[in-house]
Structure formats: C-alpha cells, structure tokens
Amino acid sequence: MRDVRGLVLLSRIEFLENELDGNAMKQLADMLSPQTREMVTEQIFPVNRYPFSVLKEIDQVIPQLVSLPLEELFRKIGTHFAPIIVDRYFYNYMVAHQPDKFLVQFKNLYLHLWGFGEYAYDFQDRHRVTLSFEYEEDIHKPYCWFVQAFFTESIQLCGGKQVVLNEMECDAENGERCVYKINWQEQ
C-alpha cells in the first residue's frame, strides 16, 4: 500500500491552523470527500499510516482555503515541515552543522515517513548532491514543491548556507523520476 505517516498529513493541517487562526479543521473537513473526512476528523496519529490518496485530496483542497499562488503555498508548507522533522529526528546534524550527514541519514527515515518510492543520493563532494526519487505512485506537482522546499530548508537548518536546488527531472511532469541537484556553502 502506498501511504504516508500521519506526521506528513499533520504538516498540512498544522500549516492550515497557523494560516486560518485555528478554524482550519472544520473548513478543511467541509471540503473533503466523506471517506477522507472521516479519516482526518478522527484523531490523526503521527505514526499511523494513511493512504497517499488522502494527502493528494488534502493538497487539492488547501489552495481553496489559503489564497497564495500554488507554488508559493506548497513551498511554504515544506518550509514549515522541515524544522519539525529536523528537530525531531536529526537534531545532532543541526547542532553539528552537517547537512551532508542529514542527507545520508534521511534515507533511513524516508520509508518510515513515506511508504512508497525510493530515495537515493549521489554526492559530488561535501557540498553538492543529486537527490532522486522514484515513485510508483502518481505524484502531483504541489507535492514536488513541498519536497523541494523541505530539503532546501532542512539543509539550511543543518548549517548549509546559500542553498540552491535545481530540478533536473520531474515525475509530475512526465519524467521517469524526480531529480534535484543541490549545492550549498558551509556556515
């Protein structure tokens, strides 16, 4: 089953709560299909698994609730999600200013958070990496923007400065996979 942990769903809901002054859950629930509404209005547990289709549906509704351009909106959600993950799972790399080690160790967490696809990395040196994601699920472009912003912000939190992420290939735009070349400067 292609799924995500509740923590990924909560990234959207917590972002909405911040943007909509605490009234997000009702507004979101009113716009979801009955099946998804039932799933998300019960308590979402960070460690439980939920179908990826639930995330996709939530991502379709969010732009109707927050009036930002689509790309900016999902990049903000990814930026908001990064400190939650880095502080919770990669605090040691944040303190030690080791974005390269974060990227290596993220492989261990990837399938824990996202129950589909493969995450791979290829370092050209300590400050340049190519990340690739191969999905067996249909990916939507807002999800890609979320992932890009998540990695950019996570590298910054772990001490990378002037982070530049270039998308080389995109699964959501008829690519075979998502490929990002990222480089940064040391702190």
Asked if residue 46 and residue 78 are part of one domain, the reply reads no
Asked if residue 181 and residue 100 are part of one domain, the reply reads yes
Average pLDDT for residues 86-109, to the nearest whole number? Answer: 92
Asked if residue 97 and residue 60 are part of one domain, the reply reads no
Computed over every residue of the chain, the mean pLDDT equals 92
pLDDT digits (tens, 9 = 90+) for 19-41: 887 778 888 999 999 999 998 88
**Which CATH number do you get for residue 112?**
3.90.1520.10
Asked if residue 83 and residue 60 are part of one domain, the reply reads no
Asked if residue 178 and residue 90 are part of one domain, the reply reads yes
Asked if residue 41 and residue 128 are part of one domain, the reply reads no
pTM: 0.93
Asked if residue 151 and residue 81 are part of one domain, the reply reads yes
Please tell me the least confidently modeled range out of 79-88, 112-121, 171-180: 112-121
pLDDT bin (cut points 50, 70, 90) of residue 165 is very high
Asked if residue 101 and residue 12 are part of one domain, the reply reads no
Average pLDDT for residues 66-74, to the nearest whole number? Answer: 95
Asked if residue 51 and residue 76 are part of one domain, the reply reads no
Expressed as residue numbers, the domain containing 154 is 71-185
d(CA 45, CA 29): 17
For the chain, what is the domain count?
2
Give the E-state strand segments of the chain in sequence order.
Answer: 3-5, 49-51, 118-125, 128-134, 161-169, 178-185
